[in-house]
Amino acid sequence: MQARDVHEWHLLAPLPYTPRGRWLLLVNPMNLFETVSRLGHEQVVFFQHRESALRCVIAIHSTVLGPALGGLRMWPYANEADAVRDVLRHSKDMTYKAAIAGLDVGGAKGILIGNPETDKNEALFRSLGRFIHSLGGRYIASEDVGTSSDDMELIRLETPHVVGVPEANGGSGDPSRATALGTLHGIRACLEFKYGHADLRRVSFAVQGAGQVGYHLVKLLRAAGSKVFVTDIAEDRIEHLVDECGAEAVPMSQIYDVEATVFSPCALSAIINEDTVPRLRCEIVAGGANNQLESEELGTELERRGILYAPDYAINAGGLMNSTLELHGYTEARADRRVARIHDIITRILRLGAQEKIPTWQAAKQLAELRLTAISQTKLPYLASASPPRTF
């Protein structure tokens, strides 16, 4: 086996961290096709362009519902294995998010290997835009961690297959306000389901993260009269919210112990884990962060403890709803109307969970898969007049 092959096996290894594990991988390597087929991806594309230092992976998980849309994440990954794992996992999540949100897009994700602080330039994004264009609209890019609407604007110079360009240039801009608004609609649905009212003045919140989503959410909650405890690594962000709207600051390590009606994760992934679940003093977990559950079993454990969990990819779909409107003609009023649907989406999930006696994460998955199956079946049989012309 040549050095290059060793590197590729390493890239696809599930846990190549011990010398023993690494050796085992060499003799029993995991195969990329096998991984991709197990996760159900349609296509994974590697783009490189030496002159602009472009290294990008785009994973298209599903185009059953329409062209696959997903954020382009720019991150200085420690190794390529982490980058590939991230892109495969997040692209599948996007399929479920679009499906549960009732959108006409499929799921994808792109990762750009590099440091967003130092490695960005026009050539990089234009070169990426040209590669995205070569996919013929199967992939639509949007902003994500490490990229901004200005970067999407550079991609737009080379391809129309991008959303999230600045509002000033006819786009939908930063999606985080819509994500926070959608989260608020989902929180109201949870309150109605659990207490029979959605009076935000009668409930309290512990919000983890005062970044883009957390900031907007705390402001909305305070405007509605809720008591809000908030934490962040960045002290200036907390101080800002304390001064601006009277939220109460909590040390980072104590946010799980706060006695509040709702714990709202708006910062990190996997914060519902074996260490944090026993500490939670809330009755509802409902927040904007992605991948809140370290494992699905922990969603079941929340249920067992009487804590209502609003599945993250359903409650935080407001940003995606906002961006996809750009494909049909964006206005903020249209976006807000669309985002308001999250109330009914969450209600439907909670009702199905109660009816079938299954945890809410499972109810959401079931509803998303039901829609994907139903729509994939509409593609059969071949209907000449409804299908694009075929060339051979």
Number of chain residues interacting with ligand NAD (CB under 6 A)? 25
Q: Restricting to residues 100-159, which ones interact with ligand NAD according to CB under 6 A?
A: none
- Nearer residue to ligand NAD within complex by CB, 47 or 215: 215
Closest alpha carbon to 263 in 187, 198, 207, 202: 207
**Counting contacts by CB under 6 A, is residue 213 touching ligand NAD?**
yes
29 neighbors 12 (Cβ within 8 angstroms): yes
Distance between CA 277 and CA 270 in Å, rounded?
Answer: 11
- Nearer residue to ligand NAD within complex by CB, 128 or 314: 314
| Residue 92 falls in the annotated catalytic set | no
Report the residue from 63, 147, 226, 231 that binds ligand NAD according to the rule CB under 6 A: 231
- Nearer residue to ligand NAD within complex by CB, 54 or 343: 343
**Counting contacts by CB under 6 A, is residue 166 touching ligand NAD?**
no
- Nearer residue to ligand NAD within complex by CB, 318 or 353: 318
- Nearer residue to ligand NAD within complex by CB, 288 or 311: 288
Q: One-letter amino acid identity for 281?
A: R
Q: How far is the CB of 7 from ligand NAD (least distance, A)?
A: 29
Which x/- pattern over 237-276 shows residues binding ligand NAD (rule: CB under 6 A)? x--------------x-------------xxxx-------
**Counting contacts by CB under 6 A, is residue 290 touching ligand NAD?**
yes
Look at the block and give the residue holding tokens 């996992």: 89
Q: What angle do CA 117, 118, 124 make, to 5 degrees?
A: 105
Q: How far is the CB of 336 from ligand NAD (least distance, A)?
A: 14
In the numeric block, which tokens belong to residue 228? Answer: 């809000």
In the numeric block, which tokens belong to residue 379? Answer: 């593609």
**Counting contacts by CB under 6 A, is residue 293 touching ligand NAD?**
no
DSSP structural state of residue 229:
E
32-40, 192-200, 232-240, 355-363 -> range binding ligand NAD (CB under 6 A): 232-240
**Counting contacts by CB under 6 A, is residue 176 touching ligand NAD?**
yes
Please name the residues in contact with 66: beta carbons below 8 A apart, sequence gap of 6 or more.
Answer: 103, 104, 105, 106
Torsion sign across C-alpha atoms 204, 207, 210, 216: negative
Is the peptide bond preceding residue 381 cis, with omega within 30 degrees of 0? Answer: yes
Q: How far is the CB of 227 from ligand NAD (least distance, A)?
A: 19
Any idea of the CA torsion for 329, 146, 286, 369, to the nearest 10 degrees?
Answer: 60
Q: Which of these is catalytic: 92, 97, 109, 365? A: 109
**Counting contacts by CB under 6 A, is residue 94 touching ligand NAD?**
no
Coil vs helix vs strand at 312: helix
Query: To which H or E segment does residue 364 belong?
Result: helix 360-378
Give the strand pairing for 43-49 and 54-62.
antiparallel
Q: Restricting to residues 297-356, which ones interact with ligand NAD according to CB under 6 A?
A: 316, 319
- Residues annotated catalytic, as ranges: 109
Binding site for ligand NAD (CB under 6 A): 175-176, 179, 208-214, 231-234, 237, 252, 266-269, 288-290, 316, 319
